[in-house]
Structure 1
């Protein structure tokens, strides 16, 4: 049942009417509006000047055809998207996702979340998101290159280091960013390094960018646990997913003295009571691009793979959902609580359903929402933009130190806001209000935009 303040209900009803069928977008808007009752009580002008309605409406939505030729000479057609959601704080910033599930509703939910996430970093970046329903799995390098070139042939006219700066997301890594950047350079005849982030180090990328989202999530979890006199040392951890976010979350958990005993991909999950062998996982997922089901055989015993059941049934102290939206539901949350989980940090975007979040909060579990906990990736993308603008390149240690400082700052601002609104420890409320107020104040200063 929704907990939206009655003054905000008409706004949400209009969002539902104008964006029919876009369930993920509805979910993201509802979560933020549920946090804003106390804000509009203090600032009725946010309702009087339709500011909340404006924040819920993207500034621009771009949908286009992406034709390309596969290795058999057959013409394929995909759909490309870019939703430029809000530029009150800076150029649109947000990743590109290549996955069959991509549609305009998912891109809008991601762009809406990105707006507040980017605001939380304290860096001058607005919110946007994009992608395509193209599935890169099983495609050759040549097919992926031709698809990326076709996508950028349309998308380039909407981009620029002072306009819109995409990065990677699910299905878009360094290979795809390289092809996209090459086509952008070819079309514009400009070496505009700051137009894409997540680039290779040899042509303007930032050290620690690959690791940033996973590292940042663990830094945020560590800060939450410190408020209870706890640490990750000796804790059992379950991390869903096995892409960049999950792999580098595992790496940082290990550095903090925790032990990750389970991770997953779309085919199932593995449990290794000795602790996930990170180098083997990297070889399988990053080098070979194979399925996680290979892990037990290559490990040579001591691990098991399951394609049935839920990995959230595996007992753990800390859970890090890092795969995709709505992957952890109410029954999963109940299982985690029953097995003694003490902290949950969202590494993916909105991986916990509303029911799961409410169960965690009711049980007093430390819960780090995505827009705060996984903001390290976009924060380091902004640091990459900074390095590109100054024609500079920082060491890994310099960049990671800045990442850690930003994550601490995000944690503290969310905690302080929650405390000031009479909800200590409620990081969902703290993140939503902090991000919203920063965007709202900028929009008010600029007039009716």
Structure 2
């Protein structure tokens, strides 16, 4: 019988995220004033975990010129997304504080199956020597001229000791980079996109995620589920989340089957919460609707001073109650990734602050009886859940916000 091969252990390449010092000489040439309103950092540092979540939530890996020590490592006119060969041994080495073979390796990465990456436009690193272009492994390329090499590949000087360098790939940004940056400078990132690789495109299906701890795995779970629930990607687009702290300290001498077992045991099951029965969905929808209807009937009405939309916003998008309401269509995810339950049973003529008060009472009931954290979300003079909120209850709860804090606020 033919052995089943785990797609997670097929050859992959990885885009590793590193800490970026915005005042150092290895930061990107372009630095936006801010990301979206759900991304917040303080100071002059972009931690790797922050940049990884920004990439997933905003759907793009930023294309840059790979500035290191004040010099571009990506030559030519097009910036690029750069990847290295992905090996479990490299991740373990970083985890154990040892130098990895892939010098760029960190415990924060997005990985792509090699075949998917090459079909999507990733090209191997090349170098130019004596009028001939070569791949890093020494394979000659039929390319005419060094400038062609520099614009199509991540250029490596022929003077470098190539056999000791890790295998690298580059995806060149295909559009007008200067125009994209000018648009961001004029309008900000709201309504524009980061110039780079669009992660949500179907051709990249099979993406893997690498994080150091289970705490960070659950934050990435929130981000990925929000994309699935918005139907931006399918439930198979992101294949796995590999948690480094669950890996052994050494895999030397392991055969293919043993590596598969190690890999699988270190992966976090982030999709099982998606399985909700029709009965569960109907039952929780009825429970939620009944609660809102009772609060509507027992809460006195006063004069209307403010109008606008009001929702109940859930912090945990994995809780069975929330998952059931998502399946029932009662909870929708707005563009920023908030999980919002409509309060259809409330009289829309009620004052906005009255509806906020009812949402707070509902949140209290659900916390006491189901252990669910939630708060109200309201928009003054608008019924659109994607507008900026007038009030949003306890704003820093859960994994909605992407912050530069290593601890975050997951209470």
TM-score (norm 2): 0.28
Of Structure 1 and Structure 2, which has the larger fraction of its residues in helix? 1
Q: TM (normalized to structure 1)?
A: 0.26
Larger Rg over CA atoms:
2
Greater fraction strand: 2
